[in-house]
Structure 1
Amino acid sequence: MFPDKIYGASTRIAGDPSRVALLLPGRGYSVARPLLHYARKALLAHDWTVQEIWWEVPEDLAGDDSAAWVDGQTRQALGREGAGSVMLVGKSLGTLAAPLAAERALPAIWLTPLLHIDGMERAIGLATAPTLLIGGTRDVSWPPGAAERTGQEYLELTGADHALELMGDPVGSVENLARATAAMTAFVAGLGR
């Protein structure tokens, strides 16, 4: 179905080699964008090694194929890791790795998870490792009550869209970024060593 290779490349930023976090981007939201940039900063501040995944999503990728593609890409990236502790941090499309995180009991941070997709709420709810969800009330991917129903820790930002921004309010958007960063930093600190 898909070639046996990771689309794009990965960049490794060194911290403690026994702890590695994979940053999984969205369809049009690379690891250089603000939410994943500050996720990286939070991880590095707590001495995690970060593997940034720079994938190129196939143009014809849609529907059920998206979950299979993300799963395959994430499994390949995980296959290159020998660290004792691994976690996943995904944005939007990257959150389709949630079933894999649950399967392997990996801690995870899901930024604007695709909770509107059938099975995602349940998959995230099956996670036994610490899991943090961050989303906004103006994001169609964040249906009312879905994050709470997962039973996982979550931060809900009132009025925030799929980028966790507030339309017409750049200062409020930056404040949301700060709140999301604070939540990610506290979450990573809580994982300990």
Structure 2
Amino acid sequence: MFKETNSITGYKEKDIHYTILSTNENASKLAILLPGAGYTAQAPLFHYSTGVFLHKSIDVLQVNYTYNDKFYDHFTMDELVEAIHHDVGAVIDKVLEENSYDDYYVVGKSLGTIAMASLINREIFYNAKAVWLTPLLNRDDVFQSMLQSRNESLCFIGDDDTHYNAERYRQFAQNPKLVTRLLEGADHSLQYKSDPVQSVDLLKIVIKAIDAF
């Protein structure tokens, strides 16, 4: 397996690291993984999603930003969003300067769904498949992007997630391109707080769905 780790100079000169994984030098598809603030690309949902994509000879780009770093402590939310858009866009521009693909997957969790909301509006990603993991439904940009998206999409969120919004979630039924799965009792990590064994079963459900997507 080929693995390349590199970085770009991001918002306010902060280095943003990224990793490209590949099992096929002629891969025609790329999966872009956008983790949460504290939920890294090495956490279970992304670790096993990476395995699913690589098994299908799909290259994987892991954007390894660290927005829980002290560097960002003084940022307002608006400035943090600006940083997210800038950094993710810069990483993708750099990668696509050096590599060419025909098809894309975009997988985002939590804070990563902020980047997804703007990313899928780029022309190159009009036909990308989108996987929304615990999206920040109380944010208008994320909600409207999901509601209006023309991308074939999956969404997983638990009803014990602080970012779950029942009224907004119900409106997703208006979008035939968006397949949603509400996971009863699951929290923002897509886990059950008091049941680790059942949490593993839930992880299997999500990964199987991504594999079949």
Equivalences for residues 118-157 of structure 1 within 5 A: 118-150=140-172, 151=175, 152-157=178-183
**1:153 partner amino acid:** V
Farther-moved stretch of structure 1 (25-34 vs 43-52) = 43-52
Q: How many residues align?
A: 186
User: Does the CA-based 8 Å contact 1:155-1:180 persist in structure 2?
Assistant: no
- Which position in structure 1 is the counterpart of 2:78? 64
For residue 166 of structure 2, give the secondary structure of its aligned residue in structure 1.
Answer: coil
What is the TM-score of this pair, normalised by structure 1? 0.87
What is the TM-score of this pair, normalised by structure 2? 0.80
- Which position in structure 2 is the counterpart of 1:92? 110
Tell me how far 1:59 sits from its aligned partner: 3.0
Tell me how far 1:27 sits from its aligned partner: 0.5
User: Does the CA-based 8 Å contact 1:121-1:149 persist in structure 2?
Assistant: no
Alignment of 1:53 with 2:63, yes or no, is: yes
1:10-64, Cα deviation, whole Å (9 max, x unpaired): 1111045321111111101100000111111221222210011111213334422
Farther-moved stretch of structure 1 (48-57 vs 100-109) = 100-109
Distance 1:170 1:19, change over 3 A: same
1:131-188, Cα deviation, whole Å (9 max, x unpaired): 111110100212114334232112211100000111111111111111111111111x
Distance 1:15 1:59, change over 3 A: farther
For residue 47 of structure 2, give the secondary structure of its aligned residue in structure 1.
Answer: helix
Equivalences for residues 152-191 of structure 1 within 5 A: 152-187=178-213
Distance 1:111 1:120, change over 3 A: same
- Which position in structure 2 is the counterpart of 1:18? 28
Farther-moved stretch of structure 1 (158-167 vs 118-127) = 118-127
Distance 2:11 2:34 in 1: 18
Distance 2:118 2:15 in 1: 17
Tell me how far 1:6 sits from its aligned partner: 4.9
Distance 2:191 2:203 in 1: 8
Structure index of larger Rg: 2
Farther-moved stretch of structure 1 (129-138 vs 68-77) = 68-77
Alignment of 1:113 with 2:129, yes or no, is: no
Distance 1:136 1:74, change over 3 A: same
For residue 119 of structure 1, give the secondary structure of its aligned residue in structure 2.
Answer: helix
RMSD after superposition: 1.9
User: Does the CA-based 8 Å contact 2:117-2:141 persist in structure 1?
Assistant: no
**1:86 partner amino acid:** Y
Distance 1:146 1:177 in 2: 24
